[in-house]
Structures are given as C-alpha cells and as structure tokens.
Amino acid sequence: MEARSCLAIVLAAGEGTRMRSARPKVLHTVAGQSLLGRVLAAVRAFGATSTAVVVGPGQDVVAAEAKRIMPDAVCFVQSERRGTAHAVLAAKAAIEQGSHDILILYGDTPLIDATTLRRLRAPLAAGAAMAVAAFRPSDPTGYGRLIIEGDQLVAIREQADASEAERAIDLCNGGIMAFAGDTALSILERIGNRNRKGEFYLTDAVEIARGRKLKAIAVEVEEDVVRGINTKKELAEAEAVAQQRLRNAALEAGVTLVAPDTVFLSADTQFGKDVIVEPYVVFGEKVVVEDGAVIHAFSHLSGAHVGKGVSVGPFARLRPGAKLGEGARIGNFVEVKEAILGAGAKINHLSYVGDASVGEGANIGAGTITCNYDGNAKHRTEIGKNAFIGSNSALVAPVGIGDGAYVGSGSVITADVPADALALGRARQVIKEGWASRLRALKSIVKKKVHARD
C-alpha cells in the first residue's frame, strides 16, 4: 500500500494579548523550547510530509523560529485575524499541493505529541473526512462543545453560539483536527462567518461535511495534550506538566533524582547511566550528563557537557561551552564557561574559569580567576596537564601555564609560565621584627597624653 502523505498546518497568527508581553505568544518557552518549537517537534516526530506555518502580519520572528526548528516549513501570513478557518485558508497554496491527509494544529498547544497526532489521523485512512481531538476539561467554559450522535460527530458549537443545553455538554473541541485531503478545501471554502463573533470558524467544517454525507469522528484525548496557552498562568501550568513528563522519563531511564519535584529539566537534557541528581538542580538547554556523574544540590547547568564520573557542585554553575572530562571535579561556588577540562582536573572551590582549557590532572586552587575580559574582548587561558594553580590567583588572559608548572598562591599571572616552572606573581613578603610591640608602645604614650589633657 502506498504510504499516505500528510500536510501539517500550524496556526500561529494569534496576538496573545493576554500574555501581557512584547514577545509573540508562541515564542514563550516550556522546558526550554518555544511553544511553536514544541509543536513542530511533535509534527516532525509524527512524520508529516510537509509543514505550513500560518503567522500574523509582521511576525517575522515567529517565521524565523519556525525555519530554525524546521527549515523546510513554509510560512504563510494571515493578513487579518478573521478566525481559525480563515487562518487555515491562508495556507491554501500548501493545501492545493495535494496530500492524502491534512492535520491542523495550534502553535499555542505545546504539549501535543506524535502519538496523539497518529491517533487523530487514523480515522482518515478508514474513510472519515474529518477527525477532531475531543477532551473533557474540568471547566468547559470557552471551548467549542461536541455534539455526538451514535459514533459520529455531527456539529461543534462555539461557546458564544451555544444554547443552554449545548453548554451543558462536557465533551469539548481540543482544537486539533485532521481532514482528508480530497475534500478539505471544498469544505473549508464553504465556511462562512455568520455567527456571534463574525469569525470564520474552523469548527463549522463538521456540519458542512455532514451535510455532504461525509463522516466526522471525535477522538478523545487527555486534557494535557490539547492544553492551550493564553495566559502566563496557563504557561506555568504547561511547564509543570512538561517537567513532570521529563522527570518521569528520566526516572524511567534510570537516573536517580533524589527529589524529582525540585529538579528542572529541558526537553533536550541527556543523561547516561547511573547518574545521580541531588535536590534543587536546574538543567537549562543543551546539557549532556554522561554515565556515573553526580550533580550535587543547587547547581545550575546550561550548554554543558559533563563527562563520565564527574562530580559537580553543590552550588556550581556550568555555562555554555563547559566540557568536563572523565572524573573531573567542580566544587562549590565554581563557575565554568566555554572551558574544556581534561580528565581528572579539579576546581574545587570558589573559582571562575572561562574561555580556558585545563589539562588533565590539573588542580585549580580556591579562588582562582581567569581574567578573560579586558573590557573590550575575550581572551583565552591555557593551563597544561597536571599544572597546579595556587589559591587566590588571577590568570590574566591571554596567558598560558605549561604542563606541570606551579603558580604560587595569590599570584597575578600576566605572562606565560613555562612547563615545570614555578611562577610567583606577587609582592615579596616583608618581615619587620618587633614592629608590633613598638606600635603598642606608641599607642599607650598617645593615650596618656590625652588623659593628661582631661
């Protein structure tokens, strides 16, 4: 049997005024991914043949995000916001390309997954003209109500147009729909705007299909997968659901999360085997943690690669470009950015290491700072294998410390240190014998004079 082609159309032309933000709604993030990015990731995982994204006028940033996530997606502009059916028809040129199936998704429904999309599409292969994602929200207010007769969907009534009896229906339109490609366009073009809001409702497609003796089916799904975002509160609720899913997936994969509810993950966080994550750890985007690593409490990681058996934290901050070799150790109050640490290298306390490479087995003492920024440009610090940097040293980049070299505590290193050398970059200590008792004697004379005056 020939595989059925599928066009996915993602509606993202909404203004999102209720988010009270200058940022377009679909660019807000859940688990580190934009809402639109998540929807497109689901579309990709589902395996659509082609994808169209409908954006509002002037929303170039939304189109750019779509292209970033899915370079072959085609963006269409809906010049006026005149309803969901009107939005779908903005992508008419894509529909006219002809595909077996068409899936309509919303850019602000970020918890949708490939499994749900497959379930929604299945009735089309069995001869239905339409399938609609149905759900039973705890509060149906505001959603379109599904009117069912037998095993078929006969109409969707929008809240504003529903009768008292229809409003009592608890089965609602989740928004996501599938259309058979051969009848989709003729149905969509029949939709009018004679309703309370004067909008072209995609939901009217059901009655039009029925009028033509075509079959429409409701596919019931979990509320979470069709959860739409309109407000910051709903964004936070979606984040909570996404975090719960990610934590469960991590636990399922064998990661030890000591207090799962306190750990925040990104959609792309990757864990190896036997990783332990202590309470209150935040994983930003693009973090990889290899086998046997331990992330201690209150650490914040983003864009970091944590090698096998590495120990991080507590209270560590790993920023993008931090690459920690096998068995390396990052201790408390250490910040690492754009720096590669060789196997077994240690930075145990209170340090900043940025734009640097640290050779294997090197030991960076407490309070070491790589002074990478001169106020104008960033410079690199190269520290060799088994080098030893004494506590409270400032390494003024660009600078290199050779293999096995020592830097004395409190040094300010401004020039390269050869391998195997000792560098003392600080003022020499001065001793003045008996100086303290001379000071005390001087003080008591002054005191007596003051008393005498009184």
Decide which of Ca ion, ligand UD1, none touches 349; Cβ closer than 5 to 8 Å per partner kind: none
Q: Which is nearer to ligand UD1, 24 or 402 (CB)?
A: 24
Decide which of Ca ion, ligand UD1, none touches 83; Cβ closer than 5 to 8 Å per partner kind: ligand UD1
Q: Which is nearer to ligand UD1, 7 or 287 (CB)?
A: 7
Q: Which spans of this chain sit near ligand UD1 (rule: CB under 6 A)? A: 11-14, 54, 78, 81-84, 86-87, 106-108, 143-144, 156, 158, 172-175, 201-203, 228
Decide which of ligand UD1, Ca ion, none touches 14; Cβ closer than 5 to 8 Å per partner kind: ligand UD1
Minimum CB separation of residue 80 from ligand UD1 in Å reads: 8
Minimum CB separation of residue 157 from ligand UD1 in Å reads: 8
Among the listed residues 86, 300, 349, 451, the single catalytic one is 349
CA distance 320 to 99: 42
Q: Which spans of this chain sit near Ca ion (rule: CB under 5 A)? A: 228
Q: Which is nearer to Ca ion, 51 or 109 (CB)?
A: 109
Q: Which is nearer to ligand UD1, 142 or 211 (CB)?
A: 142
CA distance 326 to 362: 13
Minimum CB separation of residue 175 from Ca ion in Å reads: 7
Would you call 305 a catalytic residue per the annotation? no
Decide which of ligand UD1, Ca ion, none touches 24; Cβ closer than 5 to 8 Å per partner kind: none
Q: Which is nearer to ligand UD1, 84 or 311 (CB)?
A: 84
Decide which of ligand UD1, Ca ion, none touches 82; Cβ closer than 5 to 8 Å per partner kind: ligand UD1
Residues labelled as active-site residues: 349
